[in-house]
Structure 1
Amino acid sequence: MKKLLTALFVTLLLPITSAWAQDYSDGNGYTTISNPVRTADPSKIEVVEIFWYGCPHCYALEPFTQAWKKNLADDVDFKYLPAVFGRNWLAHAKAFHVADILGVEEQLHSDMFNAIHQDRKRMTSEDELAEFFTQYGVSEDEFTKQYNSFAVNSRLSQADAKIRAYGARGVPGLIVNGKYLVTAATAGGNDNIYSVVDYLIEQERQASK
C-alpha cells in the first residue's frame, strides 16, 4: 500500500516537475537580442512589455500580465512600453505616457483595454481621451496640457528608440533584462509567455550571483 501511494504521489508530481524543468533556448521560447539594451536599474532584472491598446492580442495577454504581476519578486522591475507601429497607435501611446506622468496609469491601464475591446470605443481622438481621463480625477485641461507636452513627445522618441534597439516588430512582446524577446509565437501561446519570462528571470538571477 505504501509503495502504491508513493507511486501515485510521484505520478501526480510529474506534470509540475516537467513544467519547472522546461529548458528553453534561443529560438525555443525566446529569441536573443543581438545587441543587449541597457536597463533603467542594473540592480534589478527588468521586464518590459511592448504593447498597443488597440491590439487584440495585447488585450488577450493583459489578464496573464495582471496575474503575473501580483507575485512580482522584489528584484524584478516591470514596465509597460507603448509602441507606435502605425498612425492610429500614436494617440494610445500618448495617452499611456500622460497617465504615467499623472500617476493614474495603474488604475487606468486595464480599463483602457476594456473601453476599446469591450465597449468598442476607438479612443483615438484627443477629446475622447480627455473625457475618459476625467474618470480618474484628471481635468480635461490638464490632460490636454500633458498630451501635447514636450515630456510626452520626449518619451515617445525614447520608446521608439528602445523598441528599435530591441528589434521588436510587433506586439505584444516581452523584453527580459534588455537581452531576450518573448512573444506568443516563440513561447507557444499567451498562456506560456510568463513561464518563459520566469525562466529567463531565474537565468539572469543565477548569472548575477
Structure 2
Amino acid sequence: MSLKNLFLRAMAVITIGSGALFAPLSHAADASSLYVTLDQAQPSDTPDKIEVLEFFAYTCPHCNAIEPMVEKWVKTLPPNVVFHAVPVAFNASMADLQKLYYTLVAMNRLDLHAAVFKAIHEEHKPIYDQKAITDWIVSQGVDRAKFEAVFTSFGIQSKVTRANELAKSYQIEGTPSISVAGKYVTSPSMTQSYEGTIQEAQKLVEMATKK
C-alpha cells in the first residue's frame, strides 16, 4: 500500500475507548478531489445564511487535532455565514457523547467543549457513557441534577436524532468533515491535512458567497 493510501486510511480512524473504528472514507472513490458535491443539495436549518456544518466526534483524534483550527477559523467567517457543529455517532456507544455536546449547548457551557477533547485524548478519561460523563461534568463544577435533567430530556434526544439525519443526508462516513452551503463536503481524508481542510472550507464559503 502506498504512503498516500496509508495516510488516507489513517485519517479515517476514530478512536473509541481503547479500541478503534475504521470509518469508510467519505466519497473515497475520488480521493484526489479536495471536496465533493452532493448529488442533492440539503436544505439549511438557517434560512438566508450560508450554513457551515462541522461533523465531529469527541472520540476522534483527528477532530481533537483540528478543533483549535476550526475554532479560530469560525471567528473569521462573515455575517452571512452561520456555523453549527454536528456530533456524529457511527455506533450506539457514541450516542451519549452526542447528548453531551447538545447538553453543553443547552446549558450555555460550550466553554467545556475543548475540555471534553482534552479529557479523552490527553487525560485518557473513559467518559463514554452517561454515568462517566455525568461524574466528569460534575468535577467541572456543573450541578449534577441540572445536568442530568437536560441530558435526559426529550429536547436533547430530538437534537441527536436531527444530527443523525444530517450525517446520513450529507453521507458522512468519517470525521472530521466540513460541509458548506448544503452541498459541498471536504475533510482531511480529501485534502490530506488539517490546515488544507480549513483552507478548502474557506474557498467553498467564498465560492458559495459569489453564487
Q: Same fold (TM over 0.5)?
A: yes
Deviations 1:150-197 (A, max 9, x none): 111111111111110111111110010111111102122111111111
The answer to whether structure 1 residue 112 and structure 2 residue 112 are counterparts is: no
| Superposed CA RMSD | 1.6
Identity of aligned residues (%): 27
The answer to whether structure 1 residue 203 and structure 2 residue 207 are counterparts is: yes
The one of 127, 131, 140 equivalent to 1:123 is 127
> Contact between 1:174 and 1:181, CA under 8 Å: does it hold in 2?
yes
In the other structure, the counterpart of 1:37 is: 42
Deviations 1:42-91 (A, max 9, x none): 32111100010001111111121122123222111111000111232111
The one of 51, 55, 64 equivalent to 1:50 is 55
Q: Secondary structure at the match of 1:175?
A: strand
Shift of 1:29: 1.1
In the other structure, the counterpart of 1:138 is: 142
The one of 86, 89, 108 equivalent to 2:94 is 89
> Contact between 1:104 and 1:136, CA under 8 Å: does it hold in 2?
no
Shift of 1:134: 3.2
> Contact between 1:49 and 1:80, CA under 8 Å: does it hold in 2?
yes
Q: Secondary structure at the match of 1:29?
A: coil
Q: Distance in 2 between matches of 1:195 and 1:164?
A: 25
**Partner letter of residue 35 of structure 1?**
Q
Q: Secondary structure at the match of 2:85?
A: strand
In the other structure, the counterpart of 1:20 is: none
**Partner letter of residue 191 of structure 1?**
E
Compare CA radii of gyration and give the structure with the larger one.
Answer: 1
Shift of 1:203: 0.8
**Partner letter of residue 116 of structure 1?**
I
In the other structure, the counterpart of 1:187 is: 191
In the other structure, the counterpart of 2:160 is: 156
TM-score (normalised: structure 2): 0.81
**Partner letter of residue 43 of structure 2?**
R
> Contact between 2:89 and 2:164, CA under 8 Å: does it hold in 1?
yes
TM-score (normalised: structure 1): 0.81
Question: How many pairs are equivalent?
Answer: 181
Unaligned runs of 5+ in 1: 1-25
> Contact between 1:51 and 1:58, CA under 8 Å: does it hold in 2?
yes
